[in-house]
Amino acid sequence: MPVHNISQLEGTVTLGIDAAFKCYNKAGMQTESFRQSMTLGSGPFMFSHLRNIFTAIGCDTFAQVTNYELTYGAACLSLCTEYVNMSDGNPCSGSGCCQSSIPKGLKSLDISLFSFYNYTNVSDFNLCGFAFLVDKNSLKISDWPLSRKPKYGKDAYRTDIVIEWAVKNETCEQAKANASAYACGANANCTYPESGQGYRCLCNEGFEGNPYLQEGCQDVDECKDPERYPCHGRCKNTIGNYKCRCPLGMYGDGKKGCQGLGIITLIAAIGAAILLVIICVLLYMMCKKRKKDRNFRENGGMVLKHQRVRIFSEAELEKATKNYDDDQKLGEGGFGSVYRGVPADDVQVAVKKFKGVDKAQMNEEFQKEMGVVSQVNHKNVVKLLGLCLETKVPLLVYEFISNGTLSKHIHDKTSQLLASWSNRLRIASEIALALNYLHSLADPPIIHGDVKSVNILLDNNYTAKVADFGASVLISSDQTIIATKIQGTLGYLDPEYLMTGILTARSDVFSFGVVLVELLTGEKPNSSSSSGEKRNLIQHFISALETDNLFRILDFQAADEGEMDEIEAVAELAKGCLNSMGLNRPTMKEVSDELAKLKDLHQKSWAQQNSDETEYLLGESSQSFGKIARRPMTQSQTVIPLEIENFSDSI
């Protein structure tokens, strides 16, 4: 008999056996028959009472199955008077076919058939009856029509039956107690068959092989059988099991399914994101470049790039000033801040960055200051090195002046620069030279508009340089000016300009006079007395001068009588500059010439030690200035009313 299947997991063997039959002719005479008998012996095998069912086919059929010992038995009866269409959907309820279960533990069988009328009453369509044991899962009733005739040999009609096995008739605990007789090998466990008799050996989960051998079951590499052992990620075999890790970017149980983005999806998403960022960066850079180019054109770059002035890029100045870090800030004024910078050529510069929300106003201030400084070329005026035209409001790049402001040295008592009169006189003369250049030699002439000690810088050699032309204006050759607002610093402002709104070159003269007083006294324009009360430095100075108390308010001591005479001459000059009426003040050229004479005299006095000549020259200087200070100015002026704007106190 053929073996169709062996299942160690279920402990079964599937065999094919011939069906029993008995046939008659129309006269009721038996023509042929086959009685199926089979025994499984005394071993561990038995017919499965759960998987097998006893079945009979025919319309005059009584079939029975017993064991050899006749201790077990089952039977069924099938009758019908007309042809029955054998359909898989119709149950075998006794009409054309019948079924009966078999007893548990059946080890042998004997199948026999009987007939009540020898099929004479149904001979037209049914002359044979069949009986067989069959696996419920393989039975198809439609294969057994009532008109079927028996066949023999290899063509005989066979059915599959299921035989199960069990080891001895004892429990697992009893079997394990006797290790030498225990049938289960390594990596196998003891279980009970459905028949309830004896025990059976099964491989543990994750193992396969023959559990009844001593070496037992072997580990299963689940990763090699993904259909049986699914893994939706990275599979790793383990002893008796396997691990399945979800792909990168996903989570969950890899054996059941992962959630999230897989590595390919993740890489694609990251790639798309990177591409998007690159596109955005490129678009940003393009827009930024277009904006810079537009600013460059709008700020006159197409013309200025052909001039001698250097054109800086925005990136170059940002790097030079460390992105305009506060630690790089040199100072701050009404229209912007000044930052120290070191471009690629390692030459220190001062970058003026205009501030404000009104682009039109800031551009106006830039154009005004640019128009002024582009006309200037003097050793005592801070030099413009270049421009940056790529920003919304252009930037001005000046030479860097290393020793700070004159104000710092005047009011910092630790500074030794102004301990001597010679340095004070020299610095005053250099400032006057610069202002005279602006008023008389620049083309067109320039009014600085905000002369004060904070706007006087000192270079490496402590040479004075006038800076900050934010309030400066160009004037016509006849010394007239049209303006719309008052700019400057309280304490230094020309009172006539402040009251009338009329700005002339003599306004710078007044402011310079305040700087001279500041140089002489070491006090700020708006200072406090020893008692803490606010006092006007100019009034205090003039009062001291007129009451012969000048040397009591000085911030230094004269070295000799010659210096005392020079100091008195400078004080008288300052007094003339501070005249409340602009027409009664000297011009900047006259002031510059006077200070130049005093400086030359001072230098000669030290070189020749000729006190008589010094006294004589001082007398001449005082007399010449007296004439200048007392006569009205003949120079023509055109004055225009101005709109007064708020301004800050002096520093």
Topology at the third CATH level for domain 3-165: Jelly Rolls (2.60.120)
Asked if 163 and 136 touch (Cβ cutoff 8 Å), the reply is no
Assess if CATH 2.10.25 describes domain 172-219.
Answer: yes
Structure confidence at residue 639 (pLDDT): 36
Residues 453-462 pLDDT 10s: 999 999 999 9
- Output b/e per residue, 189-227; b: 16+ Cβ within 10 A: bbeebbbebbbbbbbbebbebebbeeebbebbebbeeee
Query: Rounded to whole angstroms, what are the CA distances from 547 to 329, 454, 543, 550, 563?
Result: 44, 30, 6, 8, 20
Structure confidence at residue 282 (pLDDT): 93
According to DSSP, residue 259 is labeled E
Q: Which two tokens stand for residue 39?
A: 């025994």
Q: What is the DSSP string of 440-478?
A: IISSS-EE-S---GGGEEE-TT--EEE---TT-EE--TT
Structure confidence at residue 502 (pLDDT): 86
For domain 299-400, the CATH architecture is: 2-Layer Sandwich (3.30)
Assess if CATH 1.10.510.10 describes domain 401-651.
Answer: yes
Catalytic residue positions? 450
Q: Which two tokens stand for residue 216?
A: 């037992």
Q: Which two tokens stand for residue 630?
A: 């007392």
Per-domain boundaries in the chain: 3-165, 172-219, 299-400, 401-651
Angle at 479 between CA 478 and CA 483, to 5 degrees: 125
CA distance 140 to 148: 14
Q: Point out the residues of the chain with pLDDT beneath 50.
A: 303, 357, 482, 614, 617, 622, 624, 626-651
Structure confidence at residue 217 (pLDDT): 92
Structure confidence at residue 484 (pLDDT): 56
What are residue 298's phi and psi, to 5 degrees? -65, -30
**β-sheet bridge partners, residue 33:** 22
Residues 586-595 pLDDT 10s: 999 999 999 9
Query: Rounded to whole angstroms, what are the CA distances from 156 to 51, 149, 428, 496?
Result: 23, 10, 137, 139
Query: Rounded to whole angstroms, what are the CA distances from 164 to 193, 198, 547?
Result: 8, 11, 139
Residues 58-77 pLDDT 10s: 999 999 999 998 888 899 99
Asked if 433 and 592 touch (Cβ cutoff 8 Å), the reply is yes
Structure confidence at residue 357 (pLDDT): 46
Asked if 16 and 1 touch (Cβ cutoff 8 Å), the reply is yes
CA distance 611 to 604: 10
CA distance 540 to 525: 10
Asked if 64 and 112 touch (Cβ cutoff 8 Å), the reply is yes
Q: What is the DSSP string of 126-187?
A: --EEEEEEEETTT--GGG--TT-----GGGS-EEEEEEEE-BTTS-HHHHHHSTTT----TT
CA atoms lying within 13 Å on the CB side of residue 218:
3
Structure confidence at residue 304 (pLDDT): 57
CA distance 179 to 160: 37
Closest to 119 (Cα-Cα) out of 24, 236, 257, 225:
24
CA distance 246 to 295: 55
Q: 241-245 and 234-238 as β-strands: parallel, antiparallel, unpaired? A: antiparallel
Q: How far apart are the first and last CA of the chain?
A: 120
Closest to 387 (Cα-Cα) out of 288, 473, 307:
307
Query: Rounded to whole angstroms, what are the CA distances from 370 to 234, 354, 474, 635?
Result: 71, 12, 11, 28
- Helix H or strand E segment including 101: none
Asked if 186 and 217 touch (Cβ cutoff 8 Å), the reply is yes
Tokens 């094919």, residue located: 16
Closest to 616 (Cα-Cα) out of 574, 565, 550:
565
Check the annotation: does 168 bind a ligand: no
Asked if 59 and 80 touch (Cβ cutoff 8 Å), the reply is yes
CA distance 60 to 47: 27
pTM value > 0.85: no
Structure confidence at residue 260 (pLDDT): 76
CA distance 351 to 496: 34
Structure confidence at residue 572 (pLDDT): 96
CA distance 584 to 586: 7
Structure confidence at residue 640 (pLDDT): 33
401-651 shares the fold of 172-219: no
Structure confidence at residue 650 (pLDDT): 38
Coarse DSSP helix, strand, coil percentages of the chain, rounded to the nearest 5 percent:
35, 25, 40
